[in-house]
Amino acid sequence: MNPARNLILVGPTGAGKTHLGPPLAAHFGLRLLDLDAAIEAEAGMRVAALFDREGESGFRAREHAMLHTLLDGVDIVLVTGGGAVLDPRNRERMRTRGFVVHLQATPAQQLARLQGDRSRPLLARADRESVLEAMARVRSPLYAEVADLAFDTGRFDAGDAAAGLIDALEPLWKRNGVPA
């Protein structure tokens, strides 16, 4: 059992990280932090603009630095971006600083959930489904590598996913050995 004082949500875009973060934080009495939002606040621009200006490598450098900073804290729920697991240093930091929950969703589920979303730079293409499938091939093993718990969000509708995840976490996650 991982006794970390933080919960970290990882998983593909559209898996429900942003949606599930607030109810988890409220239920467990933790502070909610969003990695992409923190990067945007520091940079003074949206992620898409950062991608345009600095490319993916520039964004990933900012992501690594901000992840490191945010995980200096305790008693947080950290919502990560879908690509945060790409950097092995990020995966190590997550493993050592939090109880990591891998929110799972298939590319078909992601596509349906992200149908009207045009804010994600890596999906700003006509072949969104093939992009999601390619990302899944690379990233799924990395999510699994860091995860203390895998949770399939596709089994739930949006309203029931939070309750299902809380039920799954209750017997598993203990902060400093004390039940959450």
Q: Which residues are annotated as a binding site?
A: 14-19, 36, 60, 82, 120, 139
Q: Which residues are annotated as a binding site for Mg(2+)?
A: 18
Q: Which residues pair with 152 in a beta bridge?
A: 104
Three-state DSSP at 75 gives coil
Q: CA-to-CA distance for 146 and 84, rounded, in angstroms?
A: 11
* Token output for 40: 């945007």
Q: Which residues are annotated as a binding site for ATP?
A: 14-19, 120
Angle at which helices 35-43 and 47-70 cross, to 10°? 110
Calculate ∠ Cα 91-110-40, nearest 5°.
55
Q: Which residues are annotated as a binding site for substrate?
A: 36, 60, 82, 139
Number of CB atoms found within 10 A of residue 163's CB? 12
